[in-house]
């Protein structure tokens, strides 16, 4: 498994792709363009890794890429016009390195450095990867980030605040320090890092609810039975909880609240890129089918002031919608119902974000047919989902593949290839299917279809 490098942003991604290929020898793996022909997303192969590239303002701390021959690499970059910001230097840790700015001012570091302990993807790292997941879960469940928000604290203080065993809590905090989420300022005293702040509710980019959901006891136990799902093709969630996944959320208010908050956290992260990369202004009314607490719909409505919205979900999904819809009630209504049976009629567009992958083909088709029955001949179906490549030839697909396994054990659903989405939509009565490239900072693509 290779490295997926941080996203690099460019004002003119198309020109940047050509320059990066010439200057650094990057190979173009995938390029996605919008309706205007502008590059919206690209993936460039860098040795065994992948650089993700998209539109935006250049900047950031820079990207480090390991190369076999930094001297030859340096000369090639200079010949292409790169501005050297750190000359070729033999570092004390054994690497020969240089740094430069590209044509838009992004910083790149190149050198021979390779980690000497358990590189990413090594057998040990793969085998032990459950350990940091559980460390994150315990930190999220104890809400340690909130307890550290006021500044550094002694372990004994934190243990009293969280009802834990102080010596064992210190062991956990040391592990969090190794993960970069806290800093041990003096022995036994800890402070929160910028990354650790993301484990606090309300922080921009918070993933506390997602950690509690994905690493929590029910999904954890379901993954522990993965071998049974592989043998039978059936999800294991029901064996663990006694109920199918979405019946469980309807029966468990606390679990439902964690699920809804986790979905909201993820949607807040990806919504700006979706809104910037898709023209919602051409519609008069948009129904968000299975839209939960309205995080995405409210963001779209605030960005498109002439659009009207309908938020549609089960009552449990809509339970926390009011706070997101504040100030939008004159343009948005909430409707509860079952999307397997019927959805609100007569809108210009019907949006399903991360809904279809929860279900097998039969149930997914039932949802799509319910939408088809509600739509007029000029309406548009908008399906926001990741799209599996036909063949796995890049580590860039790791997130989608892991989500696919998660669907296998949890819901019985699946991620799909473009061909599988087209077949699913055709089977539900849709035509004129188009698929965009992934939006910035997400693997989601917009799959559009007409009745």
Q: Give the catalytic positions in this structure.
A: 357
Burial class (CB in 10 A: 0-12, 13-18, 19+), 61: exposed
Give the pairing of strands 49-55 and 4-10: parallel
DSSP H helical ranges for 319-430: 361-374, 398-410, 418-427
Token pair in block for residue 106: 């992004």
DSSP H helical ranges for 52-108: 70-79
Burial class (CB in 10 A: 0-12, 13-18, 19+), 43: buried
- CA dihedral angle for residue 258, residue 260, residue 264, residue 270, rounded to 10 degrees: 110
Please list, in sequence order, all residues whose beta carbon lies within 8 angstroms of the beta carbon of residue 40, skipping any fewer than 6 positions away. Answer: 13, 32, 33, 34, 54, 55, 277, 436, 437, 438, 439, 440
Please state, in angstroms and rounded to a whole number, the distance separating the CA atoms of residues 155 and 167: 8
SS3 state of residue 87: strand
Please list, in sequence order, all residues whose beta carbon lies within 8 angstroms of the beta carbon of residue 275, skipping any fewer than 6 positions away. Answer: 299, 300, 303
Please state, in angstroms and rounded to a whole number, the distance separating the CA atoms of residues 137 and 72: 45
Nearest to 139 by CA among 54, 65, 216, 235: 216
Please list, in sequence order, all residues whose beta carbon lies within 8 angstroms of the beta carbon of residue 286, skipping any fewer than 6 positions away. Answer: 280, 297, 300, 307, 308, 309, 310, 347, 348, 349, 350, 351
- Produce one character per residue of 320-353: b if its CB has 16 or more CB atoms within 10 Å, e if not: bbeebbeebeebbebeeeebeeebbeebbbbbbb
Please state, in angstroms and rounded to a whole number, the distance separating the CA atoms of residues 319 and 4: 37
Please list, in sequence order, all residues whose beta carbon lies within 8 angstroms of the beta carbon of residue 259, skipping any fewer than 6 positions away. Answer: 213, 249
Q: DSSP of 181-192, one letter per residue?
A: SEEEEETTEEEE
Please state, in angstroms and rounded to a whole number, the distance separating the CA atoms of residues 378 and 450: 7
Q: Are the C-beta atoms of residues 366 and 289 closer than 8 Å to each other? A: no
Q: Are the C-beta atoms of residues 312 and 343 closer than 8 Å to each other? A: yes
Strands (E), 73-158: 83-90, 96-101, 107-111, 153-154
């Amino acid at each position: 498994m290779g490295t997926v490098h941080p996203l690099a942003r460019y004002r003119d991604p198309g020109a940047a792709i050509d320059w990066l290929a010439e200057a650094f020898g990057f190979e173009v793996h995938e390029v996605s363009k919008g309706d205007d022909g502008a590059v919206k997303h690209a993936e460039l192969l860098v040795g065994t890794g992948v650089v993700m590239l998209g539109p935006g303002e250049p900047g950031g701390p820079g990207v480090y890429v390991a190369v076999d021959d930094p001297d030859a690499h340096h000369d090639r970059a200079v010949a292409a016009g790169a501005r050297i910001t750190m000359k070729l230097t033999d570092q004390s840790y054994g690497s020969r390195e240089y740094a430069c700015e590209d044509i838009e001012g992004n910083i790149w570091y190149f050198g021979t450095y390779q980690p000497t302990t358990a590189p990413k993807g090594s057998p040990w790292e793969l085998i032990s990867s459950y350990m940091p997941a559980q460390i994150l879960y315990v930190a999220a469940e104890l809400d340690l980030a909130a307890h550290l928000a006021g500044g550094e604290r002694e372990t004994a203080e934190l243990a009293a605040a969280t009802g834990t065993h102080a010596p064992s809590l210190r062991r956990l905090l040391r592990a969090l320090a190794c993960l970069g989420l806290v800093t041990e300022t003096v022995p036994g005293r800890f402070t929160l890092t910028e990354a650790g702040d993301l484990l606090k509710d309300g922080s921009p980019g918070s993933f506390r609810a997602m950690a509690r959901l994905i690493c929590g006891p029910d999904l954890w136990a379901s993954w522990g039975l993965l071998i049974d799902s592989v043998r039978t093709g059936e999800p294991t969630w029901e064996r663990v909880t006694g109920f199918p996944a979405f019946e469980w959320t309807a029966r468990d208010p606390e679990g439902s609240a964690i699920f809804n908050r986790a979905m909201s956290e993820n949607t807040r992260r990806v919504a700006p890129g979706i809104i910037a990369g898709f023209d919602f202004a051409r519609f008069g009314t948009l129904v968000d089918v299975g839209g939960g607490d309205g995080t995405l719909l409210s963001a779209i409505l605030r960005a498109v002031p002439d659009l009207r919205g309908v938020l549609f979900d089960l009552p449990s999904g809509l339970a926390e919608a009011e706070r997101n819809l504040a100030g939008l009630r004159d343009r948005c209504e909430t409707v509860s119902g079952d999307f397997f049976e019927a959805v609100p009629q007569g809108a210009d567009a019907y949006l399903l974000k991360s809904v279809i992958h929860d279900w097998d083909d039969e149930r997914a088709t039932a949802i799509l047919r319910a939408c088809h029955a509600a739509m007029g001949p000029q309406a548009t179906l908008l399906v926001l989902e990741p799209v599996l490549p036909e063949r796995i030839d890049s580590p860039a697909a790791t997130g989608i593949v892991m989500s696919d396994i998660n669907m296998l054990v949890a819901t019985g659903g699946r991620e799909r290839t473009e061909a599988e989405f087209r077949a699913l939509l055709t089977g539900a009565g849709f035509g004129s299917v188009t698929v965009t490239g992934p939006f910035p900072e997400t693997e989601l693509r917009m799959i559009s279809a007409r009745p």
